[in-house]
Amino acid sequence: MNSGVARLYLLCFAFHRFRQVNDRLIEAFIRLVNDYEQTARQAASEAAQNALTEAGTHVKAAGEVLHLFVDGTIPYYTPFASVRTSAFAMLAPELIETVSQYMRNITFDRAGFEWSHYTALSHAIKRNLRHLFAGLTVAGRVEDTPLLDAVAFLQACLRRGTPLRQRNPSSFPTAFIPKALKSHLYRPGPGKAKQLDIDRYEFLVYRLVRNALEAGDVFCHDSNEFRRLEDDLISDAR
């Protein structure tokens, strides 16, 4: 084979293999996000079932607590602290909220528990996803700009080794956060202000990027499998 042709074949082979490696990294990223999401949802489901079972078990004790308010043997001027002490002897304080929600037919906040579980998984998420995410080069349609702004912001911080907690929370792009999830992404701050939960914010970006990759809304340039999405976008534009 002519040496020039051989070099061209080798270059094409190396480029193809480079894209294959990126395909595996993208697949690993998607798989890990799926695993963490499934773990959190399973934990929320189990917590909901446990709360329901536990509340049902303690309904009788809750009835005894309610009876304290009409118990004629308790003097009218008895301090409330004394009554509360008697109530806590019948039903532990940490169970009262669960049982009261059950009696008021308030459903278990699965989404809230799920997002709190992401906080518990944050160390594993950072350890296993950050280096994959930092290596992605993604692009998409104009309507995906809010998410891509968040991607660029996080990647810039991770590639420079800048701790996210050292950045001013007001500098984080937030236009992409769905309205339904804002209550889970912000926690009480000083005064009446709401403070962005950085760990949950980071995973939300990962999750939305996973969704966009799977839906074809964003694509990776250096990928054999995901490059076809770019070709489709170009065809649509034409």
Q: What residue segments make up the domains of the chain, in order of their start?
A: 17-52+109-237, 59-103
Q: Can you tell me the distance from the alpha carbon of 98 to that of 93, in angstroms, rounded to the nearest whole number?
A: 10
Dihedral angle sign, alpha carbons of residues 101, 104, 110, 116: negative
Instruction: Give the tens place of pLDDT for each residue, 203-213.
Output: 999 999 999 98
**Higher-confidence position of 173 and 233:** 173
Per DSSP, 191 falls in state T
Percent of the chain with pLDDT over 90: 38
Whole-structure pTM value: 0.73
pLDDT confidence of 90, banded at 50, 70, 90? Answer: confident
- Contact at 8 Å (CB) between 83 and 9? no
Task: Identify whether the C-beta of residue 91 lies closer than 8 Å to the C-beta of residue 62.
Answer: yes
Looking at residue 17, the DSSP 8-state letter turns out to be H
Answer yes or no: is pLDDT of 49 > 80. Answer: yes
DSSP one-letter code for 218: E
Per the DSSP assignment, residues forming a β-bridge with 218 are: 140
Q: How many Å apart are CA 220 and CA 226, to the nearest integer?
A: 6
Which residue shows structure tokens 């490696």? 21
Closest CA to 200 of 109, 130, 114: 114
Q: What angle do CA 190, 163, 25 make, to 5 degrees?
A: 125
In the chain, % helix, strand, coil (3-state, to 5) comes to 75, 5, 20
For 71-89, what is each residue's pLDDT tens digit? Answer: 878 887 888 888 888 888 8
Top-confidence residue, 40 or 70: 40
* Amino acid sitting at position 45: S
The pLDDT-based confidence of 237 (bands split at 50, 70, 90) is low
Tokens, residue 73? 């043997």
